[in-house]
Protein backbone atom coordinates (compact mmCIF):
# COMPACT_ATOMS: atom_id res chain seq x y z
CA UNK A 1 0.00 0.00 0.00
CA UNK A 2 2.90 2.31 0.78
CA UNK A 3 4.55 1.50 -2.57
CA UNK A 4 1.35 2.16 -4.45
CA UNK A 5 0.78 5.39 -2.56
CA UNK A 6 4.38 6.46 -3.33
CA UNK A 7 3.85 5.88 -7.08
CA UNK A 8 0.61 7.86 -6.95
CA UNK A 9 2.25 10.66 -4.96
CA UNK A 10 5.17 10.83 -7.37
CA UNK A 11 2.88 11.17 -10.39
CA UNK A 12 0.79 13.80 -8.61
CA UNK A 13 3.94 15.75 -7.68
CA UNK A 14 5.26 15.83 -11.25
CA UNK A 15 1.85 16.63 -12.77
CA UNK A 16 1.38 13.21 -14.39
CA UNK A 17 -1.98 12.59 -12.75
CA UNK A 18 -5.33 14.30 -12.43
CA UNK A 19 -6.76 15.87 -9.26
CA UNK A 20 -9.85 13.65 -9.06
CA UNK A 21 -7.85 10.46 -9.61
CA UNK A 22 -5.26 11.38 -6.98
CA UNK A 23 -7.91 12.30 -4.43
CA UNK A 24 -10.25 9.35 -5.04
CA UNK A 25 -7.54 6.70 -5.30
CA UNK A 26 -5.60 7.88 -2.25
CA UNK A 27 -8.89 7.85 -0.33
CA UNK A 28 -9.59 4.31 -1.55
CA UNK A 29 -6.14 3.21 -0.39
CA UNK A 30 -6.81 4.87 2.97
CA UNK A 31 -10.09 2.95 3.31
CA UNK A 32 -8.30 -0.34 2.57
CA UNK A 33 -5.73 0.54 5.20
CA UNK A 34 -8.47 1.28 7.73
CA UNK A 35 -9.91 -2.18 7.08
CA UNK A 36 -6.50 -3.72 7.70
CA UNK A 37 -5.54 -1.80 10.84
CA UNK A 38 -7.66 -3.76 13.37
CA UNK A 39 -5.77 -6.94 12.42
CA UNK A 40 -2.31 -5.45 13.04
CA UNK A 41 -1.34 -6.72 16.47
CA UNK A 42 2.37 -5.95 16.17
CA UNK A 43 3.15 -2.49 17.55
CA UNK A 44 5.71 -1.63 14.86
CA UNK A 45 3.30 -2.63 12.10
CA UNK A 46 0.50 -0.61 13.69
CA UNK A 47 2.76 2.46 13.88
CA UNK A 48 3.81 1.96 10.29
CA UNK A 49 0.18 1.72 9.20
CA UNK A 50 -0.58 4.95 11.05
CA UNK A 51 2.29 6.68 9.22
CA UNK A 52 1.05 5.40 5.87
CA UNK A 53 -2.47 6.58 6.71
CA UNK A 54 -1.22 10.05 7.59
CA UNK A 55 0.76 10.27 4.35
CA UNK A 56 -2.24 9.13 2.29
CA UNK A 57 -4.43 11.76 3.98
CA UNK A 58 -2.03 14.50 2.97
CA UNK A 59 -1.26 13.12 -0.49
CA UNK A 60 -3.68 15.23 -2.60
CA UNK A 61 -2.51 18.52 -1.05
CA UNK A 62 1.19 17.79 -0.49
CA UNK A 63 2.21 15.04 -2.87
CA UNK A 64 5.97 15.63 -2.57
CA UNK A 65 5.89 15.29 1.20
CA UNK A 66 3.62 12.25 0.92
CA UNK A 67 5.96 10.65 -1.62
CA UNK A 68 8.96 10.83 0.70
CA UNK A 69 6.88 9.61 3.68
CA UNK A 70 5.50 6.71 1.66
CA UNK A 71 8.89 5.79 0.22
CA UNK A 72 10.26 5.65 3.75
CA UNK A 73 7.26 3.59 4.89
CA UNK A 74 7.73 1.23 1.97
CA UNK A 75 11.38 0.66 2.91
CA UNK A 76 10.41 0.14 6.54
CA UNK A 77 7.77 -2.40 5.49
CA UNK A 78 10.36 -4.33 3.48
CA UNK A 79 12.69 -4.26 6.47
CA UNK A 80 9.97 -5.62 8.76
CA UNK A 81 9.06 -8.30 6.26
CA UNK A 82 12.68 -9.53 6.35
Residues 16-55 that bind another protein (CB under 8 A): 16-21, 23-25, 28-29, 32
Residue 7 interacts with another protein (CB under 8 A): yes or no:
yes
Shortest distance, position 7 Cβ to another protein, whole Å: 6
Exposed/middle/buried for residue 69 (C-beta within 10 Å: 0-12, 13-18, 19+): buried
Q: Return the number of other C-beta atoms located less than 10 Å from residue 14's C-beta.
A: 11
Contact positions vs another protein (CB under 8 A): 3-4, 7-8, 11, 15-21, 23-25, 28-29, 32, 74, 78
Amino acid sequence: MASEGALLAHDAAVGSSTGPFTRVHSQALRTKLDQLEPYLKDEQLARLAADIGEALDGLPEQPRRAESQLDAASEKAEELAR
